[in-house]
Amino acid sequence: MVKNTKNTSLQQINRLNKSLNIAFVANTSWYLYNLRKGVIEAMINQGHQVSIITEKDNFTQELIDLGCVFVSLRIDDKGTSFIQDTTFYLFLSKLFKSKKYDIIFNHTIKPNIYGSIAARRNQIPAIAVVSGLGRSFLKKNWLYYISSFLYKTAARAAHQVWFVNSEDKAVFEGWGIQATKLKKLAGEGVNTDYFKPQKKENNGTIKFIMTSRLIWEKGVMIYIEAAKKIQQKYPNTEFLLLGFADDRDTNRIPLSTIQAAEQQKIISFHGFKHDVRPYIQESDCFVLPSYYAEGLPRSLLEAAAMAKPIITTDNVGCREIVKDNENGFLCQPKSVDDLIQKIEKFILLDDERKKIMGAKGREIVVNDFNEKNIISSYLDALNYVIEKQ
């Protein structure tokens, strides 16, 4: 079993100087590049071969340029077709058998479920990384019970299951999954050398920023509605929005709706950006009114690492990083009025208090959510495989 260590020295990695054949499975290259780039780079630098099994998108070439082997994957990650899911499972099982991977890291819901079962069938150690339970766990309907059954089956098949927040881990514990299989990571991890505080020019405008996928559950429209009402009372405020809409996602917000809000000068919309740092830097406070079944939003970690106070919901994953009244404020999910109250509360803080809150957020990320800790966890798993061979 992989040790649940947090601060393993990177110098101890790959002690036997042996190369492994490693696979990362996820629904998008975007996910692997944005959330696991540092991990993948560390593995490649240790001389391991890393394959990414995912759908091709705008980030696939970025991963290939890092040195990854790309294996194309077709996945209906939002669908509920038994036939399509069975086909997906059989594809993975055949692939795992032919490629003879030494260890497999599954990410996102369907790879976690079917990838774990397929790996067990081929006697390959696999780790399921749960970065949020997703929409199927928002309410207890037929989809919830099916998803729960499948996740229980996958958890028993996996070598280990990792979580980015304590609440998701508690769900699996409640299902009676063997405790030694379950491990909490330090969030998604963020590079605190890359995301660091920068000087902001003070021009008298208080700027708020939200970066997110443009889906309803992230609270995008709640943010826009709050911005509209705040600006009526505080005309010296500005609200930035960065993000993208996945055309495959049936819960995406139409781009025309976002553009209409921009035309009314409620928000300043900047679309998707590879580098969000300049936009966070010029802002005073980060806002994420999400009511999604989050893992731990990376956007919150990035903003906190840059010493920005945060306003987010008292929601799974979000409250993992924000300590109310210390490095930001927690508001009620789905409540425009409560979000407005918290935004106004921030506006009325003096500059010194805002600075202290930002510094506290940076301290939390550096101590508890540093990407180096995440990399160590993944590399510990490789050492386990090496020592077992």
| Number of domains within the chain | 2
Does pTM top 0.95 for this prediction? no
Q: Distance between the two ends of the chain, CA-based, in angstroms?
A: 14
Range 234-263 average pLDDT: 90
34 and 157: one domain?
yes
Domain limits for position 177? 10-189+370-388
225 and 179: one domain?
no
264 lies in some domain:
yes
pLDDT for 12 = 46
319 and 356: one domain?
yes
pLDDT tens string 155-181:
999 999 999 888 899 999 999 998 999
If you search the block for the tokens 């495989």, which residue do you land on?
385
| Kind of pairing between the strands at 103-107 and 69-72 | unpaired
φ, ψ dihedrals at 375, nearest 5°:
-60, -45
pLDDT tens string 85-135:
899 999 999 999 999 999 999 999 899 999 999 999 999 999 999 988 877
The answer to whether 164 touches 130, Cβ cutoff 8 Å, is yes
Alpha-carbon distances, residue 17 vs 8, 50, 318, 381 (angstroms): 17, 16, 39, 15
118 and 246: one domain?
no
